Amino acid sequence: MLDQLNQIEQSALQAIEAVQDEAALERWRVSFLGRSSPLMQVFDQMGTLSKEERPLIGRRANEIKKALETALNGRTEALRQAALAHSLASERLDVSLPGRPLPLGRLHPLTQTLREIYRIFAEMGFQVYRSREVESDEYNFQLLNMPEDHPARDMWDTFYTTTPGVLLRTHTSPGQIHVMYQYAPEPIRVILPGVVYRYEQVSARKDTQFTQVEGLAVGRSITFGDLKGTLADFARRMFGQKVRARFRPSYFPFTEPSAEVDIECFLCAGAGCQVCKGSGWLEILGSGMVHPTVLRNGGYDPEQYSGFAFGMGVERIAMLRYKIEDIRYFWANDLRFLEQF
Ligand code: DAH
């Protein structure tokens, strides 16, 4: 019997050395310490032993049971440590590695240009006023001194809706009427940014949708000198302190007198190049003194109030600033274009 016990101990301790995972350890426990293991059978047979044998065998069997339990605990702990070490190794983090660069978004070149324009006019005391993109014929044309069949309407090829008298605004100028109507007879100094629509043949220079910034100042003693000073200052802040502006007589139905503003070509400094088509000047906006009829339509008495207005194309300004050759790039969503700004 003692030999048998020694045998059990030896093979159990040998077998546990080969155990590499929890499942194998459980199998080991069942076969060496489980209910029907040879060791437990020895305990079960105690009753059949003689009086002399019983304490000897009993003590030895208990010793072995303790030894096997100790071995089991030791192995359990060893496996746990090994698993931990393994997971630590696989989760290792090298804190000295440089971080992964995140792709950075950026503002659209038109947004950048618009914000620059807002900043400049804000410094001069202009507020931003937003008005609708779907307009009535009345606001887009009639109240701007263009009754039905007025020949000047030909300056704006228009997208009409299926509702009579409702169209997509062809310029931001109808916003002038909205803002005057809302604030008359208070003095006004606002810019009106927004998208406008024209029924055009799309080309490198013309798109059916583009952005304008309109300006309007109305008060009791506003003169053409204020218009000149404001726009010449804007040109310098936008394009550079040395840039000169010139005012060319022009015609718009809603201003009298009207002027177009050119700036000296900053690419050739006035010498003449491809961009300014050899003239040395670049046209950047239309402007003028608000027509008395328009002032009256906005709720101001033209005998007491006067004002100036202007309107510029933002794509055109961005094209000049960044030397962009095709207006279609702005709405094409091509990252190769956008990532340059
Ligand atoms: N609305 C004109 C256009 O779209 C631009 C313009 C010219 C606006 C003169 C004005 C202005 O306010 O006074 O071509």
Q: Within a domain: residue 99?
A: no
Q: Report the number of secondary-structure helices (H) and strands (E) in the chain.
A: 12, 9
Q: CATH number for the domain including 203?
A: 3.30.930.10
pLDDT of residue 244: 92
pLDDT class of 189 with cuts at 50, 70, 90 = very high
SS3 (DSSP) at 217: strand
pLDDT of residue 138: 98
- The larger pLDDT score, comparing residue 75 to residue 330, is at 330
Q: Within a domain: residue 77?
A: yes
pLDDT of residue 135: 98
Question: What's the chain's average pLDDT?
Answer: 93
Helix (H) or strand (E) holding 311: strand 306-313
Rounded to the nearest whole angstrom, what is the distance from the C-alpha of residue 174 to the centroid of ligand 1? Answer: 10
Cα–Cα distance for residue pair 63/61, rounded to 1 Å: 5
pLDDT of residue 54: 84
Query: Which residue's CA lies nearest to atom 6 of ligand 1?
Result: 311
- From 199, 261, 287, 316, mutation site for ligand 1 pocket: most ligand atoms within 8 A of C-beta: 287
Strand-pairing partners, residue 193, are 213
Query: Which residue's CA lies nearest to atom 9 of ligand 1?
Result: 287
Cα 87 versus chain centre, distance? 39
pLDDT tens digit sequence for 306-319: 999 999 999 999 99
Residue 85 has pLDDT above 90, yes or no: no
Tokens describing residue 110: 């038109």
Cα–Cα distance for residue pair 315/39, rounded to 1 Å: 92
Residues found in the chain: 341
Does 81 share its domain with 114? no
Domain boundary among 89, 117, 137: 89
pLDDT of residue 94: 86
Residue 6 has pLDDT above 90, yes or no: no
Helix (H) or strand (E) holding 166: strand 166-168
Residue 266 has pLDDT above 90, yes or no: no
Does 183 share its domain with 116? yes
Nearest to 319, CA basis, from 110, 101, 22, 9: 110
The residue to which tokens 């006023």 are assigned = 129
For residue 43, CA distances in Å to 4, 40, 68, 101 come to: 13, 5, 15, 69
Strand-pairing partners, residue 136, are 166
Cβ count near 86 (within 10 Å): 10
Residues within 6 Å of ligand 1 by CB: 171, 173, 214, 252, 255, 286-288, 309-311
pLDDT of residue 57: 86
Summarize the chain as % helix, strand, coil (round to 5): 45, 20, 35
Q: Within a domain: residue 151?
A: yes
Q: Within a domain: residue 26?
A: yes
Rounded to the nearest whole angstrom, what is the distance from the C-alpha of residue 286 to the centroid of ligand 1? Answer: 5
pLDDT of residue 82: 85
Cα–Cα distance for residue pair 199/208, rounded to 1 Å: 6
Does 83 share its domain with 115? no
Does 200 share its domain with 154? yes
Query: Which residue's CA lies nearest to atom 3 of ligand 1?
Result: 171
Question: What's the average model confidence in pLDDT over 177-183?
Answer: 98
Residue 247 has pLDDT above 90, yes or no: yes
Rounded to the nearest whole angstrom, what is the distance from the C-alpha of residue 206 to the centroid of ligand 1? Answer: 17
Q: Which atom of ligand 1 is nearest to the CA of 170?
A: 4
pLDDT tens digit sequence for 290-338: 999 999 999 999 999 999 999 999 999 999 999 899 999 999 999 999 9
Q: Within a domain: residue 47?
A: yes
**Phi, psi angle pair for 78, to nearest 5°:** -65, -40
Residue 178 has pLDDT above 90, yes or no: yes
- The larger pLDDT score, comparing residue 178 to residue 87, is at 178
pLDDT tens digit sequence for 40-49: 888 888 888 8
Does 188 share its domain with 50? no
Task: Enumerate residues 6+ apart whose C-beta is below 8 A from 199.
Answer: 157, 158, 159, 208
Rounded to the nearest whole angstrom, what is the distance from the C-alpha of residue 172 to the centroid of ligand 1? Answer: 8
Q: Which amino acid is at 29?
A: R
Nearest to 299, CA basis, from 215, 136, 179: 179
Q: Which atom of ligand 1 is nearest to the CA of 288?
A: 13
Does 74 share its domain with 133? no
Rounded to the nearest whole angstrom, what is the distance from the C-alpha of residue 118 to the centroid of ligand 1? Answer: 18
Q: How many Cα neighbours within 13 Å face the side chain of 35?
A: 0
Nearest to 116, CA basis, from 328, 258, 320: 320
Does 72 share its domain with 161? no
Q: Which atom of ligand 1 is nearest to the CA of 255?
A: 13
Rounded to the nearest whole angstrom, what is the distance from the C-alpha of residue 58 to the centroid of ligand 1? Answer: 111
Q: Within a domain: residue 320?
A: yes
Does 73 share its domain with 113? no
DSSP 8-class letter at 208: S
- From 135, 141, 169, 171, mutation site for ligand 1 pocket: most ligand atoms within 8 A of C-beta: 171
Tokens describing residue 328: 């279609």
Q: Which atom of ligand 1 is nearest to the CA of 254?
A: 13
Please give the residue range of the domain that contains residue 189.
Answer: 109-338
pLDDT of residue 276: 86
Does 196 share its domain with 271? yes
- The larger pLDDT score, comparing residue 173 to residue 275, is at 173
- Please give the share of the chain, as a percent, with pLDDT higher than 70: 100
pLDDT tens digit sequence for 101-124: 998 889 999 999 999 999 999 999
Rounded to the nearest whole angstrom, what is the distance from the C-alpha of residue 109 to the centroid of ligand 1? Answer: 23
DSSP 8-class letter at 169: -
Rounded to the nearest whole angstrom, what is the distance from the C-alpha of residue 141 to the centroid of ligand 1? Answer: 12
- From 173, 206, 256, mutation site for ligand 1 pocket: most ligand atoms within 8 A of C-beta: 173
Tokens describing residue 91: 């989760």
In angstroms and rounded to an integer, the radius of gyration of the C-alpha atoms of the chain is 44
pLDDT of residue 134: 98
Maximum CA extent, the chain: 136
Cα 111 versus chain centre, distance? 11
- Please give the share of the chain, as a percent, with pLDDT higher than 90: 65
Residue 87 has pLDDT above 90, yes or no: no
Does 64 share its domain with 118? no
**Based on the structure, what is the number of domains in the chain?**
2
Query: Which residue's CA lies nearest to atom 7 of ligand 1?
Result: 286
Q: Within a domain: residue 310?
A: yes
pLDDT of residue 46: 84
Does 125 share its domain with 77? no
Q: Which amino acid is at 218?
A: V
Does 134 share its domain with 269? yes
Q: Within a domain: residue 95?
A: no
- From 209, 252, 308, mutation site for ligand 1 pocket: most ligand atoms within 8 A of C-beta: 252
Q: Where are the alpha helices (DSSP H) in the chain?
A: 2-17, 22-33, 38-45, 53-90, 109-123, 137-140, 174-183, 224-239, 292-297, 314-322, 329-332, 335-338
Rounded to the nearest whole angstrom, what is the distance from the C-alpha of residue 320 to the centroid of ligand 1? Answer: 19
Query: Which residue's CA lies nearest to atom 4 of ligand 1?
Result: 171
Cα–Cα distance for residue pair 174/161, rounded to 1 Å: 17
Question: What's the average model confidence in pLDDT over 216-229?
Answer: 98
